[in-house]
Amino acid sequence: MSNNNLLYRQVQSPMVLKIAKWIIGIFLVIGLCSHFIANDMPLLAKYEGSVSSPATVEFLSDIGIVDSRIYDETKFKWKIMPPIPYSSDQLNSRFNVSVGPLDNQEVSSLRYRHWLGTDQLGRDVLAGLVHGTNIAVKVGLLSVFFSLLLGLYLGLLSGYFGDNSWKINIFALLIGTLIKALGLYYILYPIIVNPGLFYYLNLTFIVTILQLALYKFIPGSTKPSISLPIDLITTKIIEVLNSIPTLFIILAFLAIFTKPSIWNVIIIISIIGWPKFARLARAEILQIKNLEYIESAKSIGLSDFQIILKHALPNAITSVISITAFAISGAILLESTLSFLGLGIPLDHVSWGSMLADARVNFSSWWLALFPGLAIFFVLISFYIIGNQLNEKMNARH
C-alpha cells in the first residue's frame, strides 16, 4: 500500500486535481455548446417579423435534425450575439495578413475584438479553438464509447468462456456464420447496388424461415457439439492490431475512405482502441470467474450470459472505466495528429490540429502556433491527472 502512495503522491495534490476537473468540465461544456459560444449568427434575433434563433437552427442542422437556413444579415431588427461574435470559418475581408492579439485591430467595439488574433484568412483564432473543442469532444467521447463497448463485449466473452467452454452446435455455427456473412453483405449492399427496401424484407423473411426450418428438422441441431475458441480469436486479433504502430495502421485504414468525414476518424480510432479495454476486462473476469458467487449463480441455474451481464460485468467495469480517461486523451491526441497531417477531418472543419498545421505555413504569427497547442496540452494533462487519480482509486481497492 505504501508503495502505491509513493507512486501516485505527486499528482494527488487536491489543488491540481481540482484544476484538472475544472478544465475537463469547461472542455466538455465548450465542446457541447460551441455553436452558442462562438457564432456569427445571433442567439436570438427578430427576423422578418418574428423572433427566431439562428444559432439554434445551425446547431440542429449540424446534428442533422433540421435543414440549414441562410439568413440575410441586414434584415435583423435586433439581435443578441453569442459571447464570441465570430464563427470558425468566417473570413474577414478587411485583413489579408494575420492579426495578432496585441495588434491594433480597428474593430468597432471591444466586443468584436479578436482576443487571440486571426489567421491569414481573417478567421478568428478563439472561435476556431471553440469549434475545435467541439470536434475533440465528439471524437474523444464517441470513439472511446464505441471501443469500450466492443472491448467489453469481446473481453468478457473471451475471459469467461476461454477456449474450451463455449459450446456451440456445429450446424448453428455454420448457418449463423452464413447468415451473418449474408447480413454483412446486404448491409454493404447499398454501397454496391441499390436494391430497395422490398428486397431487404424479402431476404430477411426467407433467411429467417430457412434458419428455423434447419434448426427444426435437422436432428441434433440444438445440441452443442464443438467449442468456439473465442479467446484464441480475440487474442489473435489484438496481437495483429498491436503488431503495427498506431499511426501506420491508421494511415492504411484512412486510405480507403473517399470522402473525409469525422465519422471515419471516430470509427478508426475505436477500431484501434478497443484492445486495451478487452485486455483489462478479460484479466478482470479471469480473476473472478472461479469465485464462489459465480459458482453459486451457476448452481441456481442462471445461464452463462445472465451471469456475465449481472455478475461479471459490474465487477469488471470499474477497472475498465479507470482507463477511459487515458483512452479519451489518446483519442483526442490521435484526432489532432491526423488533422495536423490533413487527413480524416474534412478541410472545412476547423480542428486544433488543422490550426497548428496552418501555423506551420505562417512563421511570423506566433499566436497561431501557441494557442491551439496550449488547448491540446491542457486538456491532455488534465485527462492524465484524472486518469492517474482513477487508477489509484482502483489500485487501492485491490
Residues at the interface with other proteins (CB under 8 A) = 2-3, 6-7, 9-11, 182, 185, 189, 192-196, 199, 202, 236, 239-240, 242-248, 251-256, 258, 329, 333, 336-337, 340-341, 353, 356, 359-360, 363-364, 366, 369-370, 372-373, 376-377, 380-381, 384-385
Give the residue among 267, 8, 229 at the shortest CA–CA distance from 142: 267
Q: Which is nearer to other proteins, 38 or 272 (CB)?
A: 272
Query: Which distant-in-sequence residues (6+ apart) come within 8 Å of 54 by Cβ?
Result: 41, 42, 45, 47, 69, 71
Q: Which is nearer to other proteins, 6 or 70 (CB)?
A: 6
CA distances from 378 to 5, 9, 24, 334 (A): 25, 20, 9, 15
Minimum distance, C-beta of residue 191 to other proteins, in the bound complex (Å): 9
Q: How far apart are CA 138 and CA 85, in angstroms?
A: 23
Q: Which is nearer to other proteins, 66 or 184 (CB)?
A: 184
Minimum distance, C-beta of residue 368 to other proteins, in the bound complex (Å): 9
Residue type, 177: T
Give the residue among 66, 110, 112 at the shortest CA–CA distance from 92: 112
Minimum distance, C-beta of residue 194 to other proteins, in the bound complex (Å): 6
Indicate the helix (H) or strand (E) that contains 80: strand 76-80
Indicate the helix (H) or strand (E) that contains 77: strand 76-80
Q: Which is nearer to other proteins, 65 or 188 (CB)?
A: 188
Minimum distance, C-beta of residue 150 to other proteins, in the bound complex (Å): 17
Q: Which is nearer to other proteins, 87 or 329 (CB)?
A: 329
Q: Cβ(368)–Cβ(98) under 8 Å?
A: yes
Q: Which is nearer to other proteins, 78 or 199 (CB)?
A: 199
Q: Which is nearer to other proteins, 75 or 360 (CB)?
A: 360
Residue type, 390: L
Minimum distance, C-beta of residue 40 to other proteins, in the bound complex (Å): 28
Q: Cβ(314)–Cβ(308) under 8 Å?
A: no
- The pair phi, psi for residue 376, each rounded to 5°, is -60, -45
Q: Which is nearer to other proteins, 63 or 188 (CB)?
A: 188
Q: Which is nearer to other proteins, 305 or 377 (CB)?
A: 377
Minimum distance, C-beta of residue 382 to other proteins, in the bound complex (Å): 9
Q: How far apart are CA 345 and CA 341, in angstroms?
A: 10
Partners of 50 in beta bridges:
47
Q: Cβ(128)–Cβ(347) under 8 Å?
A: no
Partners of 47 in beta bridges:
50, 76
Per-residue exposure over 233-267, b if at least 16 CB sit within 10 Å of its own CB, e if not: ebbeebeeeeeeeeeebbeebbeeeeebebebbbb
- Stated length of the chain: 398
Residue 206, classed as helix, strand or coil, is helix
Residue with cell 452443442: 224
Q: Which is nearer to other proteins, 9 or 310 (CB)?
A: 9
Partners of 52 in beta bridges:
45
Minimum distance, C-beta of residue 343 to other proteins, in the bound complex (Å): 9
Minimum distance, C-beta of residue 104 to other proteins, in the bound complex (Å): 20
Minimum distance, C-beta of residue 357 to other proteins, in the bound complex (Å): 8
How many CA atoms lie less than 13 Å away from 73 in the CB half-sphere?
5
Minimum distance, C-beta of residue 258 to other proteins, in the bound complex (Å): 5
